[in-house]
Amino acid sequence: MQSLGVIVEYNPFHNGHLFHLEQSKHTTDPDVVIAVMSGQFLQRGEPALVSKWTRTKMALTNGVDIVVELPYAFATQKAEVFANGSISILSALKCTNVCFGSEQGNIGDFERTTIIMEEQKPLYDLLVKEFINKGYSFPKASSLAFQQLMDGRENVLDLTKPNNILGYHYVKSIREQKSEISAFTIGRTNAGYHDPEFNDSPIASATSIRKHLFDHDGDIEKVQRFVPKPTYELLNRYIKQTGSFHQWEDYFSLLKFRILCSTSSELSEIYEVEEGIEHRLQQIIKESHSFLEFMTKLKTKRYTWTRLQRICTHILTNTKKETMHRVMTQSHSEYVRLLGMSRKGQAYLREIKKELEIPLLSKISGFDSQMLEMDVRATNTYAMKFSEPTRSNWMLQEFSKPPIRFDEVENKFL
């Protein structure tokens, strides 16, 4: 069977995602579509707008057949680690193709650039180190080193673009893992990745959709033309059931508590807390009245907004360096956590189940793994914005909720 893999956050699933999914299907003609999706916290170090279960429903009602969770250990990391975990899961599920969106839109450029970077890695690493020593952040230093290395070469990637960066690491991970997955890319159209405002196009960035929802207290009417009907209905249901969408401001008090009730030494044990930034965190949080104010004061040339958000996420979830380093000794996932499936997806899993080399989890009770414990802590933290008994119900749901089942023929959940 031909299977198509997509690596997603769907925060939320919008018309641009639908376009990518339809074009990916047209390009690869798959029998089944598998989505590896981030859980409750995302790659840019922020809580997902809605829960992973609601985003799973968005995926299934818009044409995905299998949704599996990208573990926290990969989902809240820089592009290279994020890609390694995602590709390892698709490989474990015997996926034949992966298709990602990119600004470049030409898979040959990705493959060419990956080969050049393999050949020039010692020089590239040296250039990155030189730029970091000049005070640049790691992403900026990497970008400058790449530009210098590729100067004068034709048909190579523009690695200043966020989707090109992720795509490059997907292709690189496929090569490094010696995976049999074939890579394809679809060029992005209309709205840019971080465009903060709507325009006349029916395709808007997820950033602009979230900004509107936060700026207008969850009013979803204006986002209707930018999302498929099932997404709109699910967003509407979520806001009615929970009262609000998730954003960093919901967790600021908890973050402030965690930072101020920790010693500098304890904070220095948190993953990604480096170079004495724990002292800066403790000082600035005392004088900050919101997460936005805190981040604005905290940001420096050396630390990007994204990296600082990831640090805050790891503080919030108490993710320590020792634990992360232990679970990341291998660059692949220890398991596949199944969140949802269509009938077609269920048939595919039944067919490949005996070939799986890592456990396929439909429920997590009874499975012992530090990587999985990090996922559970992430859900517990995500639930803290609610009051009781909703909070406890969400925490218990992590262990008891079975995968969501969707009948694509009848267009209903089972």
The CA-atom distances, in angstroms, between 227 and each of 16, 99, 185, 240 are 8, 21, 22, 18
| pLDDT for position 150 | 84
- Amino acid at the residue 325: H
State the binding site for ATP.
Answer: 7-20, 101, 163, 188
State the binding site.
Answer: 7-20, 101, 163, 188
HEC letters along the chain:
CCEEEEEECCCCCCHHHHHHHHHHHHHHCCCEEEEEEECCECCCCCECCCCHHHHHHHHHHCCCCEEEEECHHHHCCCHHHHHHHHHHHHHHCCCCEEEEEECCCCHHHHHHHHHHHHHCHHHHHHHHHHHHHCCCCHHHHHHHHHHHHHCCCCCCCCCCCHHHHHHHHHHHHHHHCCCCCEEEEEECCCCCCCCCCCCCCCCCCHHHHHHHHHHCCCCCHHHHHHCCHHHHHHHHHHHHHHCCCCCHHHHHHHHHHHHHCCCHHHHHCECCCCCCHHHHHHHHHHCCCCHHHHHHHHCCCCCCHHHHHHHHHHHHCCCEHHHHHHHCCCCCCCCEEEEEEEHHHHHHHHHHHHHCCCCEECCCCCCCCHHHHHHHHHHHHHHHHCCCCHHHHHHHHHHHCCCEEEECCCCEEC
The CA-atom distances, in angstroms, between 44 and each of 105, 384, 390 are 23, 20, 27
Two tokens, residue 260:
């101020």
Handedness of CA 260, 265, 268, 270 (dihedral sign): negative
Contact call for residues 246 and 50 (beta carbons, < 8 A): yes
| pLDDT for position 412 | 94
In degrees to the nearest 10, what's the CA dihedral of 46, 51, 53, 55? -70
What is the spatial distance between Cα 158 and Cα 150, in angstroms, rounded to a whole number? Answer: 10
| pLDDT for position 365 | 84
| pLDDT for position 154 | 82
Q: What is the pLDDT of residues 268-282, one digit of tens each?
A: 999 999 989 999 999
| pLDDT for position 66 | 98
Q: What is the pLDDT of residues 211-246, one digit of tens each?
A: 999 988 778 888 999 999 999 999 999 999 999 999
Instruction: Tell me the whole-structure pTM to 2 decimals.
Output: 0.92
Residues in Cβ contact with 180 at an 8 Å cutoff, skipping those fewer than 6 apart: 91, 96
Residues of the chain with pLDDT under 50: 191-193
| pLDDT for position 195 | 60
Handedness of CA 40, 13, 230, 64 (dihedral sign): negative
| pLDDT for position 331 | 80
